């Protein structure tokens, strides 16, 4: 192994847990704008091999994120080798990357940035075999100089992961490497255990980064700051004060060209087992002893262990009308493109507080919110027609969009005579701060963390296995899918599922826009 000294490089077997903890606590990423130029950062040079390089995720997020990291001051030396089942030349792959970044990427590159980034990209078809990949990695490593590390991003369906691991083993590329595994991690408990066992035959746990990009969202991390860095909220963060919680991630987009992935996966495995339950753990967990991987995953895993098995009668599965006519979809498909469910966490903090989760494709709006509904106040002191409680309970709402927002809605007095109550709100948006430009897109943040060897925002084998275990009743006996029209909020039975409460979305009042500067 190369002797690369990294402040937080967990690839070193001699590092003690205390040293690792200290290192994790000392990571401080300066603002990209304020950074010195390249080669002055504490990140070693990296060869990144992107498997599934011509797939949907690479096109929408990964190439753009890698481009930003490569040309920003956050990394020092990076080469990206794309690989997939397609046969492309280096130039064709560069053209694909440029088109992706320009058409769907969240950040555009200037011509100068593109000229800097393009030569860092190359391509090896998976069919060229292990020797070709090894040769290309060796060539890039030589050009990068000493101390190079390797990062493999497996943006491939669960079934293809095995073949990639075998390829890496045959290419003798396991040393000095880290591997990012995309979700869903397995398809059920059995396959997740098998995948973990297979991975562990090749990689040490510290080399494995199971990604859940929702945890890389600025707003998701802000839940931890909000809960644990303030004295105000944690004392009321329990069943004594909270009535119910909603984690609601409707999407207006449809399948795009992802039928081959989506058909065997569906909304529960694509979104709930991964993103929604992970976010739920941030909302529900006990305070971790440190912002450090082991402490955070211990607390998250306790939430998963207290999660009651998901029962079919607590679930609404839906399928948008027209899904079965999509290209690549079985005309009799039973795959759900929508799911809403009631989850229960049976511990001292949360017993009796329902968590309502909803997500689906082709819904009325694209939103990503967590809404905490507080218990209603006694109403009798206010006149009968005052309007108290008329607009639902007071809420705290997190918006998980990139420009993260938080809103606290409450009843306040309507100006004028008498005592009429209106629902008012206090809102915060990162957009209003001078640091808004520093926000890293979720994949950028997590790839950067993996380059730094920091596991804090990644999921663990234990956590994922407990979630699959709690999913058994639903997976064994899924309720039939109900159809819903594209552009709606899902099948009608979602209202019975949440009664006597109501879904927060669609919002009665929209988020306030950015303040004029």
State the catalytic residues: 275
Measured in residues, the chain has a length of 517
Helices (H), 72-160: 90-103, 111-117, 129-144
Instruction: Point out which residues bind ligand BG6 (CB under 6 A).
Output: 213, 251, 270, 368
Please state, in angstroms and rounded to a whole number, the distance separating the CA atoms of residues 354 and 337. Answer: 23
Please state, in angstroms and rounded to a whole number, the distance separating the CA atoms of residues 415 and 361. Answer: 42
Q: Are 411 and 379 in contact (CB under 8 A)?
A: no
Q: How many CB atoms within 10 Å of residue 96?
A: 21
Q: How far is the CB of 67 from ligand BG6 (least distance, A)?
A: 18
Q: Are 17 and 295 in contact (CB under 8 A)?
A: no
Q: How far is the CB of 271 from ligand BG6 (least distance, A)?
A: 6
Exposed, middle or buried by CB within 10 Å (0-12, 13-18, 19+), for 332? exposed
Exposed, middle or buried by CB within 10 Å (0-12, 13-18, 19+), for 266? buried
Instruction: Give me the residue whose beta carbon is nearest to ligand BG6.
Output: 270
Please state, in angstroms and rounded to a whole number, the distance separating the CA atoms of residues 170 and 131. Answer: 8
Q: How far is the CB of 263 from ligand BG6 (least distance, A)?
A: 13
Q: Are 419 and 411 in contact (CB under 8 A)?
A: no
What is the DSSP annotation of 30-44? PPGGG---TT-SSS-
Please state, in angstroms and rounded to a whole number, the distance separating the CA atoms of residues 71 and 69. Answer: 6
Exposed, middle or buried by CB within 10 Å (0-12, 13-18, 19+), for 131? exposed
Instruction: Tell me the HSE value of 428 on the side-chain side, using a 13 A CA sphere.
Output: 12
Q: How far is the CB of 429 from ligand BG6 (least distance, A)?
A: 18
Q: Which is nearer to ligand BG6, 274 or 488 (CB)?
A: 274
Among the listed residues 91, 93, 90, 100, the one whose alpha carbon sits nearest the alpha carbon of residue 65? 100
Q: How far is the CB of 281 from ligand BG6 (least distance, A)?
A: 17
Please state, in angstroms and rounded to a whole number, the distance separating the CA atoms of residues 102 and 485. Answer: 32
Exposed, middle or buried by CB within 10 Å (0-12, 13-18, 19+), for 375? middle
Please state, in angstroms and rounded to a whole number, the distance separating the CA atoms of residues 323 and 332. Answer: 10
Cα pseudo-dihedral 371, 228, 452, 50, rounded to 10: -10
Please state, in angstroms and rounded to a whole number, the distance separating the CA atoms of residues 343 and 352. Answer: 10
DSSP conformation class of 274 = I
Q: Are 405 and 429 in contact (CB under 8 A)?
A: yes
Distances (CA, A) of 338 to 81, 256, 319, 463: 36, 16, 6, 24
Q: Which is nearer to ligand BG6, 251 or 399 (CB)?
A: 251
Q: Which is nearer to ligand BG6, 98 or 213 (CB)?
A: 213
Q: Are 371 and 245 in contact (CB under 8 A)?
A: yes
């Amino acid at each position: 192994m190369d002797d690369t000294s990294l402040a937080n490089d967990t690839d070193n077997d001699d590092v003690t847990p205390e040293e690792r903890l200290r290192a994790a606590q000392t990571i401080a990423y300066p603002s990209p704008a304020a950074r010195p130029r390249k080669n002055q950062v504490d990140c070693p040079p990296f060869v990144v091999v992107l498997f599934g390089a011509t797939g949907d995720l690479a096109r929408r997020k990964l190439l753009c994120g890698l481009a930003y990291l490569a040309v920003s001051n956050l990394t020092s030396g990076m080469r990206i080798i794309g690989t997939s089942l397609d046969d492309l030349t280096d130039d064709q792959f560069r053209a694909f990357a440029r088109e992706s970044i320009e058409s769907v990427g969240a950040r555009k590159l200037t011509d100068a940035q593109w000229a800097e980034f393009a030569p860092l990209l190359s391509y090896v078809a998976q069919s060229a075999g292990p020797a070709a990949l090894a040769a290309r990695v060796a060539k890039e490593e030589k050009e990068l100089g000493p101390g190079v590390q390797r990062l493999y991003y497996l943006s491939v369906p669960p079934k293809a992961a095995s073949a990639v691991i075998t390829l890496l083993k045959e290419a003798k590329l396991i040393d000095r490497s880290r591997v990012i595994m995309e979700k869903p991690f397995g398809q059920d408990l059995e396959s997740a255990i098998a995948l973990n066992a297979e991975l562990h035959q090749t990689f040490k746990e510290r080399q494995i980064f199971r990604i859940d990009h929702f945890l890389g969202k600025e707003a998701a991390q802000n839940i931890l700051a909000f809960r644990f860095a303030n004295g105000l909220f944690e004392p009321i963060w329990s069943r004594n004060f909270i009535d119910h919680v909603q984690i609601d991630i409707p999407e207006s987009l449809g399948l795009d060209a992802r039928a081959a992935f989506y058909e065997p996966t569906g909304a529960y495995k694509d979104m709930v087992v991964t993103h929604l339950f992970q976010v739920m753990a941030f909302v529900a967990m006990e305070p971790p002893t440190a912002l450090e991987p082991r402490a955070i995953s211990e607390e998250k895993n306790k939430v998963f262990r207290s999660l009651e098995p998901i029962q079919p009668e607590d679930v609404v599965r839906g399928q948008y009308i027209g899904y079965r006519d999509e290209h690549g979809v079985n005309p009799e498909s039973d795959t759900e493109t929508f799911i809403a469910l009631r989850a229960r966490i049976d511990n001292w903090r949360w017993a009796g507080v329902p968590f309502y989760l909803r997500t689906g494709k082709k819904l009325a709006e694209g939103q990503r919110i967590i809404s905490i509904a507080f218990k209603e106040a006694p109403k009798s002191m206010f006149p009968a027609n005052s309007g108290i409680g008329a607009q639902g309970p007071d809420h705290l709402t997190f918006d998980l969009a990139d420009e993260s927002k938080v809103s606290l809605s409450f009843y306040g007095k309507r100006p004028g005579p008498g005592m009429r109550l209106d629902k008012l709100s206090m809102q915060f948006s990162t957009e209003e701060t001078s640091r808004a430009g520093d926000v890293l897109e979720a994949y950028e943040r997590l790839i950067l963390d993996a380059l730094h060897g920091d596991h804090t925002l990644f999921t663990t084998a234990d956590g994922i296995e407990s979630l699959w275990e709690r999913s058994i009743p639903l997976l064994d006996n899924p309720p039939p899918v109900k159809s819903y029209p594209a552009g709606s909020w899902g099948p009608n039975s979602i209202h019975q599922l949440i009664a006597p409460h109501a879904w927060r979305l669609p919002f009665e009042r929209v988020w306030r826009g950015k303040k004029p500067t």
